[in-house]
Amino acid sequence: MTVSIPADAPVELQHYLRMWNERDLDQIRVHLDRCVADDCWWVDPLHQHTGRDPLEAQVRDFRVNYPDADLGLGSNIDSHNGRHRYEWYITSTPGELLLRGFDVVTVDEESGMINRVDGFFGTLDRIGPGA
């Protein structure tokens, strides 16, 4: 399955999403080098690391363990002040939902590279008026 990435998405997020969906393990680093700062801090409920090498290892591990999985956007991309938030989902072939979550990504204004990714698993329950 080819995951659709909006053409108006920030270019660093386009590469970031392509990196997670890259089937050719040798091309993962190509995407990574185009979008992630050398000292990027990446954290989710299971991982925490700094730098491109550990992130590349994590993406490679994901691709090896889930070769048919696709990571897609589950929402629009909401952006301000060099920060982007969006929901995502991971499916396996033939479209079985494996996981939902959301990321908050921070981009360094000078370099245009992602320097922080805060990932969350699951969805938030709506509460309050209009929920």
* Mean pLDDT score, 39-51: 97
Report pLDDT for 1.
52
Q: DSSP string of 47-110?
A: -EEESHHHHHHHHHHHHHH-TT-EEEESSPPEEETTEEEEEEEEEETTTEEEEEEEEEEEE-TT
Confidence check: pLDDT of 7 > 90 = no
Nearest-5° angle of CA 60, CA 64, CA 68? 115
* Mean pLDDT score, 19-24: 96
* Length of the chain (residues): 131
pLDDT digits (tens, 9 = 90+) for 56-81: 999 999 999 999 999 999 999 999 99
Sequence-distant (6+) residues with CB within 8 A of 116 are 40, 41, 42, 105, 106
Tokens of 71: 């990571």
Domain boundaries, the chain: 11-121
Report pLDDT for 36.
97
Tokens of 30: 């190509």
CATH number of 11-121: 3.30.530.20, 3.10.450.50, 1.10.3720.10, 3.20.19.10? Answer: 3.10.450.50
* Mean pLDDT score, 82-103: 93
Report pLDDT for 8.
87
